Amino acid sequence: MRVVYSETQLMHDPEHEVQFGIPLPTYEVPARAERILEALEADGGFALTDPTEHGTAPIEAVHDPGLVRFLAEAWSEWRTRYEAPEMFPDSFLHPALREGMGPATEPKSPLARMGYWCFETMTAIVPGSYAAARAAVDVALTAADMILAGDRMVYGLCRPPGHHSPRAAFGGYCFFNSAAVAAHYLSTRTGEPVAILDVDYHHGNGTQQIFYQRADVLYVSLHGHPDRAYPYFTGFEDECGAGLGEGATLNLPLRAGCTDEEYLDALDRGLAAIGEFGGSTVVVSLGMDTYGQDPIGDFALTTPAYGAAGRRTAAVGRNLLILQEGGYHLPKLGINVATWLRGADGR
């Protein structure tokens, strides 16, 4: 199986995330990508390729150009005004602030701008963030090109992740929604419907939002129930899409302690929906934070479940564009990814 990866993605290297109002060491570290790479290299069944530059047009096809502009400028603006080595917002554009008054206009100061574009306090901007976020999209799009050229499955080792970013905001360790950019790219190039299977522990609120009103992109997600799990405000079972997109969103929220068996049953439900949907390619948002030892998830999955999950996903018979999202238990992250990919590859 071909793997697309760029070292530029390591340039996003924040120290902290603010949780409970306290700056704590972040879980979303460059070593995540290095651990995955090592496991794939040790396996020997994977061929590494660098991405090619795809520019901002495919990003702006799903994201607000203002978000792209902000992320491109944020660090250089910040460092002319503040001493802090990492950029965090302190005020957010809560929807109630301007209720009944019409939309806000984008503020001028970098701090206020960050509160306009960001929805939480866990996604620091540091000097290399924009370059890394752009590289992650290039990884996804280069992998998509390989599918378009005839590969049956390709793995894009994306980092930072992307599925929490909606059209006009970023957060949840994510900047650009690489899976959404790639799914839209595939849909415009093939003219076919595209299905997205999101198996990260967290609901992919960003991907859901981007495609919520579209009938030609199916979004299916298995995740920790939002009653207890981040991102809290989305991912409920009754969110099924709207307008033309009604019926093209399927959320399967799961209980804490979810076992291999329960998980694979839910996966089968998701895969059945994908099987009934058209198109030749499934974009997989692959998160390994479902693992039993993950520090921020609460499922009980074991490594063999990933082999079964990969196998069942491939058995739907579509091309697979597999893109990395979360997964924070460094000692087993690589083997879990390799096991999923091996399962899909049927070797």
Which amino acid would we find at residue 180?
A
* Distance from the first to the final alpha carbon of the chain: 11
* 235 makes contact with ligand Q9C (CB under 6 A): no
- Which CB atom, from 211 or from 277, has the smaller least distance to ligand Q9C? 211
Number of residues this chain uses to bind ligand Q9C (CB under 6 A)? 15
Strand, coil or helix: what is 60? helix
Contact code string over 113-142 relative to ligand Q9C, x by CB under 6 A: ---------x--------------------
CA nearest to 183, candidates 92, 283, 101:
283
Contact 305, 217 (CB under 8 A): no
Exactly one of 63, 164, 223, 329 is catalytic; name it: 164
Using CB under 5 A as the binding rule, the residues of this chain from 264 to 323 that contact Zn ion are 287, 289
Minimal distance, residue 326 CB to ligand Q9C, in Å:
2
How many alpha carbons lie under 13 Å from residue 155 in its C-beta half-sphere? 27
Contact code string over 17-46 relative to ligand Q9C, x by CB under 6 A: --x---------------------------
Q: Can you tell me which of 224, 241, 326, 343 binds ligand Q9C, judged by CB under 6 A?
A: 326
37 contacts: CB under 8 Å, gap ≥ 6: 5, 48, 157, 334
Using CB under 6 A as the binding rule, the residues of this chain from 266 to 295 that contact ligand Q9C are 287, 289
* 172 makes contact with ligand Q9C (CB under 6 A): yes
To the query of whether residue 203 is one of the catalytic residues in this protein, the response is no
* 193 makes contact with ligand Q9C (CB under 6 A): no
Length of the chain: 347
- The CB density around residue 52, as the number of other CB atoms within 10 Å, is 12
Residue of this chain nearest to ligand Q9C (CB atom): 326
* 14 makes contact with ligand Q9C (CB under 6 A): no
Radius of gyration of the chain (CA): 19
How many alpha carbons lie under 13 Å from residue 331 in its C-beta half-sphere? 4
**Residue 37, CA distances (Å) to 149, 213, 325 in order:** 24, 36, 14
Minimal distance, residue 250 CB to ligand Q9C, in Å:
20
Using CB under 6 A as the binding rule, the residues of this chain from 150 to 169 that contact ligand Q9C are 161, 164
Active-site residue list: 164
Residues that bind ligand Q9C (CB under 6 A): 19, 122, 161, 164, 172-174, 200, 202, 230, 287, 289, 296, 325-326
